[in-house]
Structure 1
């Protein structure tokens, strides 16, 4: 019994340390707002969007001109170093690359597509983290509810056990009844310890998501599950996903990017030209000569065929990837929807079966057991059955929320 008391003391001490922190109650909307303004993962991902947008600016910039200066270093005829005056020699040239074939336009289009992909990836990250946030927020509420129930029952059992131990010492009741109560206490305490560990992990995940050190619990005013019971068809969910899911839209944009890259490689086969103007003081055919000209590579050996061929295969790869992703999403939605329908059925049945009669019966059983109107076997049996019902109700409710939120995640839109 001393070990049991020590175990309970350690658990309660951990609870006191945890609840010594500030506790904040958040609605789903408030949690979303706090999450989007404080989550460092989102802030980091938003920087990638800005980086890709900066590449659009860079793609619009024209190549810099090249200025060349050629001056005399040593004149052996006149024995002069840096002979660059009126009788010396110097040459200045200004050169500009002219891009042909729409290459610059292709670079701008590619940069814009990459920026769009970064935004879609950001949206997908937001949805994935929101799924975790909503699921964890409801889970922590159910865990907190069950912990309070367990704490209440443990307090009752502790009081009852002390009374029975005293009566057993006096010989008024058999020792086996005390042992049965101890067993029930230990089992419930173990269940609570396991649940408390899960609670701590969920609380940690929420604090990381919201960048908070406070204890986070859901707003009880938003505990109604009716919002997750909106009728919807699997075909409508599939259509919504194919139109809105950021993960799929990224694949579609990758296909667009592959098309743009293929077009860019074809344009790279078109030679660019260099135009230049030069001033030559004395080394040309005439003194103070001003020249102008162009240079252009001849596409004899390199016509960029390898890169064009590679781009064609990359486009085919993007097309196949898109088809595979669409099939994957439809399959995941079908399975998730079937799971959701099952959880809705379980929830609706559980709400029909579980009502205030359970709590009234619990109070009645406890009272009658204390009055010795209920045997120890009946009491323990009902006690364990009642806790099994509580655990099952928590599982069903949590499962309903997570399955509905999973469909929201898979469609890219808040259906529930």
Structure 2
């Protein structure tokens, strides 16, 4: 049986941990202060503990995450396109020089006896093409900015889930460690009793099987912690966390998780905020504006551009030195850019339908996430205060009862298995609750339901408005 991701809130961080959150960050423990890897299979392995709180982790993400850095460069590239769109066309210089002058019988005669032509032309874009190109480029850059915030929204949600998972995994490991320690004492006393022929070998083997099962699940959970730590290290890209020996300990105020009340929020307000803040919705809106601007540009492209400039011809006309003016204008008879105009018009219709569909999806995503969070929170609060506490208090009594032979090994093993399963299921419920809460934040595009800490003056946004 594999252990599921858990939220374990019965053990709270000490005040000392909370006070030292920021001071410990990025500080590795000295080599003479090692921390055990936490596995009986490799007792000699040493890890260095670093404590980390969520606000600091989010700051690291914004600063160091490589995907966000790459997205920022992408924005700069699109902004460079704005500069390029506003540039005028370069002038065209034409030179015509005769190779062989028949009257003088000279090659490449640059004198007055030879024939030379110079011409300069400048293309003038008509129909406001430059302004329309700039507008299209600006909208393209805005789309890139919203893609950046949409990426940030996904990465922050992933960071929070990974951060909390590490914390709650470690709390679950504490539960297994305490249970294993209790069973180990019982196994030790049972081995002595077996040597005295006070119990059967089958009874001893049943206890050892229970102990083996708990240790197996505990080791599997430890592996999952390593995996989440590696994921967090990639997200944060912090020099002090890159070492494989670094063990990340998430600092969480467990009481602040209890204070999150999804039922106190209003669905209509959440939907309204999602419409204003969802980056993917803004991308759909900006894409529609982009196609509208592109249609204007295509209409402007149907207007021919004017090429105009002076020319000089020496020895090639009736006059020895001829000065003139040239002008060139394409006549839009066959190609009036009608194909691109029709394509732009259809693209607008496509973007309108996509925008309507995206709005509908956002509204339903928020509604589903909101209802799921309310249901999970209500179910969690109905059982957390009594269900697990009653089992925890009874577990010690059952161990003592078994050691005093008040109950049989079957009764004890059955109770302990039920107790473990109940704790696991309750922890899974807490996991589902927090994931549902994070789904609300993700669907709205804002940190609506987040733990309140001393560092939080206001809810941090997952995406920014224009």
| TM-score (normalizing by structure 2) | 0.82
CA distance in 2, matches of 1:334, 1:412: 14
| Equivalent of residue 13 in structure 1, options 41, 52, 62 | 41
SS of the residue corresponding to residue 40 of structure 2 reads helix
Q: How does 1:215-254 map to 2 (within 5 A)?
A: 215-221=247-253, 224-230=256-262, 231-254=264-287
| Equivalent of residue 204 in structure 1, options 216, 230, 233 | 230
CA distance in 2, matches of 1:404, 1:220: 16
| Equivalent of residue 112 in structure 2, options 86, 89, 96 | 86
Q: Contact 1:207/1:216 (CA < 8 Å) preserved in 2?
A: no
CA distance in 1, matches of 2:76, 2:318: 54
CA distance in 1, matches of 2:308, 2:51: 69
Question: In the TM superposition, what is the alpha-carbon distance from 1:226 to its structure 2 partner?
Answer: 3.4
Q: How does 1:317-336 map to 2 (within 5 A)?
A: 317-336=350-369
Question: In the TM superposition, what is the alpha-carbon distance from 1:355 to its structure 2 partner?
Answer: 6.4
Partner of 1:414: 447
Structure 1 residues not aligned, in runs of 5+: 1-8
Q: Deviations over 1:214-273 (max 9, x none)?
A: 322221336621353151111111111111100111011111111111111111111110
Q: Contact 2:54/2:160 (CA < 8 Å) preserved in 1?
A: yes
CA distance in 1, matches of 2:434, 2:73: 32
Partner of 1:290: 323
Residues 1:103 and 2:136 are matched in the alignment: no
| Equivalent of residue 391 in structure 1, options 424, 430, 442 | 424
| Equivalent of residue 201 in structure 2, options 175, 200, 215 | 175
SS of the residue corresponding to residue 225 of structure 1 reads helix
Q: Contact 1:89/1:282 (CA < 8 Å) preserved in 2?
A: yes
Residues 1:24 and 2:56 are matched in the alignment: no
Residues 1:302 and 2:335 are matched in the alignment: yes
Structure 2 residues not aligned, in runs of 5+: 1-36, 450-466
Residues 1:185 and 2:222 are matched in the alignment: no
SS of the residue corresponding to residue 298 of structure 1 reads coil
Q: Deviations over 1:117-173 (max 9, x none)?
A: 111000000010100110111111111111121122223323322331232132111
- Shifted more, 345-354 versus 129-138: the winner is 345-354
SS of the residue corresponding to residue 448 of structure 2 reads coil
SS of the residue corresponding to residue 385 of structure 2 reads helix
Question: In the TM superposition, what is the alpha-carbon distance from 1:284 to its structure 2 partner?
Answer: 2.4
Deviation >6 Å, runs of 4+:
none
Question: In the TM superposition, what is the alpha-carbon distance from 1:59 to its structure 2 partner?
Answer: 0.7
Change (3 A) 1:156 1:16: farther
Q: Deviations over 1:53-99 (max 9, x none)?
A: 11011111111111122222221331211101233222211110000
Question: In the TM superposition, what is the alpha-carbon distance from 1:336 to its structure 2 partner?
Answer: 1.4
Higher helix residue share:
1
Partner of 1:4: none
Q: Deviations over 1:303-361 (max 9, x none)?
A: 11111111111111111111111111112222211111111112211333246554443
SS of the residue corresponding to residue 292 of structure 1 reads strand
| Equivalent of residue 61 in structure 1, options 87, 91, 105 | 87
| TM-score (normalizing by structure 1) | 0.92
- Shifted more, 339-348 versus 196-205: the winner is 196-205
